[in-house]
Amino acid sequence: MPQKEPTFDITKHQLVPKHTILSEKEKKEVLEKYGVDETQLPKILNTDPVVVAIGAKPGQLLKIIRKSPTAKESIVYRIVVENNE
């Protein structure tokens, strides 16, 4: 079943955290900082609505900033992977 285009900008919704595509340099710095490689990072599918909305491609690293009532904000990273369905 084909996916429909959203009728609103999902990146502006209050429940969707801020997603930012990191540059290759920033990606390398994050991998080095945490001593991991791409296969060890949490994944996000290239068909995820936010990934589609921001134009991220497989292999790119996303920085996701979530609001937190206790820590003010929480930063997580996800690597974009191909949806092989």
Structural domains in the chain, sorted by start: 19-81 (3.90.940.20)
Q: Could you tell me which of 21, 26, 18 has the C-alpha nearest to residue 46?
A: 21
Using a pLDDT cut of 70, give the percent of the chain over it: 92
Provide mean pLDDT across the span 70-76: 89
pLDDT tens digits, one per residue of 20-46 = 999 999 999 999 999 999 999 999 999
Mean residue pLDDT of the chain comes to 89
Percent of the chain with pLDDT over 90: 68
Residue 2 has pLDDT above 60, yes or no: no
Q: Over 90: is that where the pLDDT of 79 sits?
A: yes
User: Which residues are CB-neighbours of 26 under 8 A, at least 6 positions away?
Assistant: 61, 63
Looking at residue 1, its pLDDT comes to 45
